[in-house]
Amino acid sequence: MRMTRERLRALRCAVVASALATVLTAGAGAAVAATGGHSAAGSRGSGGTAAAPAAASTPAAASSGTDRSGSTEYATSHVTTIDAATHQLRATVDGKTVAVFPVGFGQPRFRTPSGTYRVLGKDAVIEMTSCSARITCDPDSPDYYDLQVPWAVRLTSGGLFVHGAPWDHTIGSEDISHGCIHLSVADAEWFYNFSRPGDIVIVQGTGRSGGPVGP
Q: What is the CATH number of the domain that holds 185?
A: 2.40.440.10
197 occurs within a structural domain: yes
67 occurs within a structural domain: yes
The one catalytic residue among 38, 78, 87, 163? 163
Q: Which pLDDT does position 62 carry in this prediction?
A: 32
Portion of the chain with pLDDT greater than 90, in percent: 60
Burial of 75 (0-12, 13-18, 19+ CB in 10 A): exposed
215 occurs within a structural domain: no
Q: 17: domain range?
A: 2-204
Query: In this structure, are residues 164 and 149 in contact, taking their beta carbons and an 8 Å threshold?
Result: yes
Domain count, the chain: 1
The model carries a pTM of 0.70
214 occurs within a structural domain: no
Q: Which pLDDT does position 67 carry in this prediction?
A: 43
Please indicate whether residue 38 is annotated as part of the active site: no
Pairing type for strands 49-50 and 66-67 reads unpaired
Q: Residue 186, SS3?
A: helix
212 occurs within a structural domain: no
Please indicate whether residue 163 is annotated as part of the active site: yes
211 occurs within a structural domain: no
The one catalytic residue among 38, 87, 180, 182? 180
85 occurs within a structural domain: yes
Q: Which pLDDT does position 9 carry in this prediction?
A: 60
Low-confidence ranges of the chain (pLDDT < 50): 1-3, 24-45, 54-74, 212
146-154 β-sheet, strand order: 66-67, 121-129, 146-154, 161-164, 181-183
Q: Which pLDDT does position 82 carry in this prediction?
A: 98
193 occurs within a structural domain: yes
